[in-house]
Amino acid sequence: MRIGIIGAGALGSYLGYKLNAGGHEVVLHDRMKRVKEIRRDGLRLKDVISGEIVSADLPVEEELIGDFDVLISAVRAHQLADVLTEDKAVETAEGDHEGAAGVPLFFIGSYVSGMGDWAEALGPERVLFGFPGMSAVLDKDDQGALVKFCERGEKDTEPWGITVGALRGPVPEKQTAICRGLNDSGIPVHHAESMESVFLSQALVRLPMLAALEYAGGTLDRLSGRGDLLKLMIKAIREGLAAVKRSGLKPVPDSLEMYRWVPIFISANMIKHRLDTVPSKIGIEMFAHRAGDELRFLGGEFLEFTVASGAEFEHLEYLLGGLEEE
């Protein structure tokens, strides 16, 4: 397949590397600053579990020109509106919405709301959503730009992959090819019945955790030593879980229900144990230092969702309100 990736940041670079290694023709698309960076330093990535540094020779352009079998959006949630309204690659690929024509579009990232509007505007049969199990951040070393990624746990032998689906219902027929392409490129695909539930379930855990990290001073070591913040975080997660359930959605995975009945101090200790890992260093600590605008955007959206659900949100408001004040 010929695949255009919109957003050559950490996630887009990782996807481009894996898909290219899997035999697909990949073109990266980004703003000039990142384009110049890749052309100067090359596309270099480091697997933080194995320590291996790899490189990929991929074209990177300010505009995606030519025909593509699929377009993958790998930009942050707060940037997506601009991509949909201004990006020529999406505009020229739109086709006949009602006929579900045009290039299939695959949105990968963290979202809270607005997905239904995007799907409707672009054509539901063309649109697929994905939540990445892996983590990736842009960094530097003495040779220039470097993408650090973590695609599996320290004791795992297989990568975590991507959870994929429509907002609700089966994967559109036009998108089955990209699912096969990801699987064949070493990125396992896990199908979800409702990506809306997946996105909100991820948000109800990750946002309070990232907000608590900010209050703790930005390091996991400090957060682990703050029992008060860990307990506050659990209370906020409980409120988010109640909001999702009040909205008629099923939390994903089912194990999230444990936050409702497991005593707070036990839940806090369980999370504290998870913080002392390499994946948490990349996916929580380093991510938080680089994603302030996105966290504020998603935090505001999730608070609005919680208010609309009618659930209590005292602890959520305290934590996520702190993101707004940054």
Please give the CATH topology (third level) of the domain spanning 2-193: Rossmann fold (3.40.50)
pLDDT at residue 99 in the model: 36
Radius of gyration over alpha carbons of the chain, in Å?
19
Burial class (CB in 10 A: 0-12, 13-18, 19+), 163: buried
Output the average pLDDT for the chain. 91
CB proximity list for 178: less than 8 A, separation 6 or greater: 1, 3, 69, 70, 72, 104, 106, 128
What is the pTM (predicted TM-score) of this model? 0.93
pLDDT attached to residue 88: 55
201 closest CA partner among 131, 129, 124:
131
Alpha carbon distance 242, 260 (integer Å): 9
Residue 265 belongs to what H/E stretch?
helix 264-275
Cα–Cα distance between 203 and 20 in angstroms, integer? 30
In the predicted model, is pLDDT for residue 257 greater than 70? yes
Neighbour count for residue 265 (Cβ, 10 Å): 12
User: Each residue of 182-196: pLDDT tens digit?
Assistant: 999 999 999 999 999
The percentage of the chain sitting over the pLDDT mark of 90, rounded to a whole number, equals 76
